[in-house]
Amino acid sequence: MLSVVIVTRNESLAIRDVLASVVSTLSSIPCTSAGRHEIVLVDDSDDLSTIDAARQALMGEKRIDLNLVHRSPGERDGLTGAILFGLRVSANARVVVMDGDGQHPTDMLVNLAQQLSSSSVVFASRYIHINGDAGLSHAIRRVASRTINRFLIGTLGKYICCTDPLSGFFAVDKSAVTLPSTSHGGWKAGFLILTHNLADRRAELKYSEVGFSIAPRLAGESKLSLRTSFRILWELRCAARMLA
């Protein structure tokens, strides 16, 4: 059984299609009679339009368990915090984390779930398929992402071969990893989880990855700002230092 954690901030225009696609893919993944697939939505939007659109899209859904959370301003602690929250509250041990803007193709849920039978962390990487990062909004963004990626790949290289440490599309087996207790208010939960578990060398981390091509947003705009970019750099520095 799989839990899918979807994070949203002001995605009322995209979330219906994303959820319809997640439901359709999850329904194609067999589950045992003892359990059910789950969708966990962690919404930090400024208004209720995203969560309302999600509720409407999932109305009458009986095959999948639903946990739709709209966090109040006082509860919000950034994108990494939202992802860690979703991971903590998800009912199944095997969890996929994905964006709610349509950039993460839902057919990849099947590949990620399959890989989890032999790995404890699986990243969907934009740098395995040719031009897998073409769906990123600007050329500058692609260059910045590739440059930071190269540095982080080096940081992780002693332990694992990871081609896309900045990916926000990943899967974890919660029974085989520990979740960080702090989010640094940042954006890159996957990298934080990797470094946290690699630094805790009590157990070997079974890591693997699958290639995918990131799609353009269905609607709306990226929430990445100059301020969040500095936060990301701070978060990456804190996470990378755990391995020093």
Ligand X SMILES: Nc1nc2c(ncn2[C@@H]2O[C@H](COP(=O)(O)OP(=O)(O)O)[C@@H](O)[C@H]2O)c(=O)[nH]1
Q: Is 10 an interacting residue with respect to Mg ion (CB under 5 A)?
A: no
- Residue 167's binding partner among ligand X, Mg ion, none (Cβ under 5 to 8 angstroms by kind) is none
Q: Is 8 an interacting residue with respect to Mg ion (CB under 5 A)?
A: no
Shortest Å, Cβ 90 to ligand X: 14
What would the two tokens of residue 75 be?
């509860």
Shortest Å, Cβ 220 to ligand X: 8
What would the two tokens of residue 63 be?
């095959």
What would the two tokens of residue 228 be?
């969040």
Report whether 99 contacts 7 (CB < 8 A): yes
Q: Which is nearer to ligand X, 78 or 105 (CB)?
A: 78
Q: Is 223 an interacting residue with respect to ligand X (CB under 6 A)?
A: yes
Of residues 25, 103, 155, 195, which one binds Mg ion by CB under 5 A? Answer: 103
CB-based contacts of 97, cutoff 8 Å, min separation 6: 5, 7, 83, 86, 87, 168, 169, 170, 171, 172, 189, 190
Q: Using alpha carbons, select from 5, 213, 7, 216 the residue that is nearest to residue 125.
A: 213
Of residues 101, 173, 209, 235, which one binds Mg ion by CB under 5 A? Answer: 101
Shortest Å, Cβ 103 to Mg ion: 4
Helix (H/G/I), strand (E/B), else coil: 124: strand
Stretch that binds ligand X, among 93-101, 109-117, 203-211, 229-237 (CB under 6 A): 93-101
Please report, as a single letter, which amino acid is at residue 231.
R
Report whether 39 contacts 19 (CB < 8 A): yes
Q: Which is nearer to Mg ion, 154 or 216 (CB)?
A: 216
Stretch that binds ligand X, among 94-102, 124-132, 178-186, 194-202 (CB under 6 A): 94-102
Shortest Å, Cβ 217 to Mg ion: 6
N-to-C CA span, the chain: 36
138-197 residues near ligand X, rule: CB under 6 A? 168
Q: Is 235 an interacting residue with respect to ligand X (CB under 6 A)?
A: no
Q: Whole-angstrom Cα distance, residue 229 to residue 191?
A: 15
Site size with ligand X, rule: CB under 6 A = 18
Q: Using alpha carbons, select from 79, 66, 181, 161 the residue that is nearest to residue 121.
A: 161
Stretch that binds Mg ion, among 5-13, 66-74, 85-93, 100-108 (CB under 5 A): 100-108
Site size with Mg ion, rule: CB under 5 A = 3
List residues near Mg ion by CB under 5 A: 99, 101, 103
